[in-house]
Amino acid sequence: MSKGSPGPTPGFLVWRLANKWRVAVDRAVAPLGLTHAQYVLAASLHGLQGVGERPSQRRLADHTGLEALYVSKLARALESDGLIERTRDPRDPRAVQLALTEQGQAVVQGAIVVVQELLQQMLEPLGGLDAPRTRAFTDELLTLLDVPIAPSVPNDESTQGTTP
């Protein structure tokens, strides 16, 4: 950036931080045979199972913020690696339920430890994982995540010159 230009925008910084985190987690969980996206899915599944849920792929997509089609792709890959099992929901034959296998439980528990250590390292400048600044930062992130973003309307002749 040039000396006279404004600093980075919040959107740019969020994007940079998200990419930094994704790359760091990818590298940290690669020795366990996982990608960052697979870790997110498996760790979320672990958490939901821990409170007694056997979530559908749709429920897991909603929980993680991932697209349902991507969750399906990740689930198939994790299933082929023996880490999760996919079964039809007895209440809805269109839905697929997911559960970690014993091997999946072991892998994800190890991955959670690795990622928690990485998270502690990343949050050290704010005082660490349990620090007041980290809690405030987490609250700010939750506030931003709760804001619905309307899909953009294509700029075509029918919308030009109109105010929504």
**What pLDDT, in 10s, does the model give residues 46-91?**
999 999 999 999 999 999 999 999 999 999 999 999 999 999 988 8
Residue 156 has pLDDT above 80, yes or no: no
Residue 157 has pLDDT above 90, yes or no: no
Q: Looking at this protein, which amino acid is placed at residue 135?
A: R
The separation between CA 73 and the C-alpha centre of its own chain, rounded to angstroms, equals: 15
Residue 160 has pLDDT above 80, yes or no: no
Residue 109: per-residue pLDDT: 97
Instruction: Report the C-alpha gap between 134 and 152 in whole angstroms.
Output: 33
Nearest partner of 56 among 90, 101, 89, 104, judged by Cα: 89
Burial degree of 118 (CB within 10 A; 0-12, 13-18, 19+): middle
Residue 6: per-residue pLDDT: 82
Residue 158 has pLDDT above 60, yes or no: no
Residue 91: per-residue pLDDT: 87
Burial degree of 114 (CB within 10 A; 0-12, 13-18, 19+): middle
Mean pLDDT of the 35-43 span: 97
Mean pLDDT of the 123-139 span: 96
Mean pLDDT of the 2-9 span: 75
Residue 149: per-residue pLDDT: 86
